[in-house]
A = this chain, B = another copy of it.
Amino acid sequence: MKCTRCRAKAEVHLRAHNAGFCRPCYLTYFRRQVERAIAGDRMCITAERVLVAVSGGKDSLALWDVLIDLGYQTTGLYLAQGIGGYSDRSRQKVEAFASARALPLRVVDLADEGPGLAIPDVAALTRRSACSACGMLKRHFFDEAALAGEFDVLATGHNLDDEAARLLGNVLRWQVDHLVRQRPVLPPTHPRFVRKVKPLHLLSEYETAVYAFMRGIDYVVEECPNSVGATQLLYKDALNRLEAASPGTKLAFVREFHRRGQPAITARAEDDQRPPQTCARCGMPSWGDVCAFCKLVAEIETKRARGVTGPAA
């Protein structure tokens, strides 16, 4: 196969796009796709200060890499989750990436926050699953990092496979409220928060992996050990089978959702946008008297004080 742009020998074949690229043209293609997503959805402009949430995986490091290339002022944000060797290794990758490029990086170590919030401890001391605890704590610390007014936007590395799997999950249960909120640009829910953007939302996992490989990015290949058997992986598998039989299925699913499905759904469901209150404990925006994060912290403090170490046997 020949490169769709320059007719040289292609190194990558993208069946969903019915296109092939040599290495230089692939990198150009990838950057342009990110640029187009950012411009098309008005995610951010180069004058804005971007906080990039990085996990050490290929998607978030590829995102950071391409944002720098496109001229954005970026700071990395890494959340150390305390998930044993996996967290150690992913932190090393993130720190090596940032120091090799002299990029500013912030690290939040969950074990040092509040009563000690490493994911395994939170999961053991509360009724939450590790994945639910992790999602909630990510949201909290991402929002908090933006509170001081130093950043205009938070960027995450969610790719097409992530978005398609989440969309399939929302659609299988017709969670209309979730469908309304699944967007590549989430406006801030409070004046003190910043908007969240997903510049890679139309680029597949395969495409970001190829980009990371070609750019020599050293990333954590292993998946989080808690993700084994996660429903998300089941949805990804189902979508990958459909994609194999009909290339372009995932892209059409997500793109047509934003073009046609979501506008049709949104009109009705936009009402339940209650204005947020302020948390009586931490002062962060909250949808109750005390925010969900402070409720969790209080629960853990209580259990630690009682000497509880995990669920009753």
Contact = CB atoms under 8 A, between A and B. Distances in A.
Interface of A: 171-176, 231, 234-235, 237-238, 241-242, 245-246, 249, 252-253, 256-257, 259-261, 263-265, 267-269
Given A234-B242, A238-B238, A260 B172 contact: no
Contacts of A175: 260
B253 A176 contact: no
Contacts of A256: 173-174
B242 A172 contact: yes
Contacts of A237: 241
Most B CB within 10 A of own CB, among A171, A245, A259: A171
A106 to B, nearest CB: 38
A259 B174 contact: yes
Contacts of A238: 238, 241-242
A261 B174 contact: yes
Among A176, A252, A259, chain B packs the most CB atoms within 10 A around the CB of A176
Contact of A265 (B235, B242, B245, B265): B265
A267 B176 CA distance: 14
A162 to B, nearest CB: 17
Contacts of A231: 245-246
Given A241-B238, A242-B234, A264 B176 contact: yes
A264 B260 contact: no
Contact of A172 (B176, B253, B267): B253
A231 B265 CA distance: 26
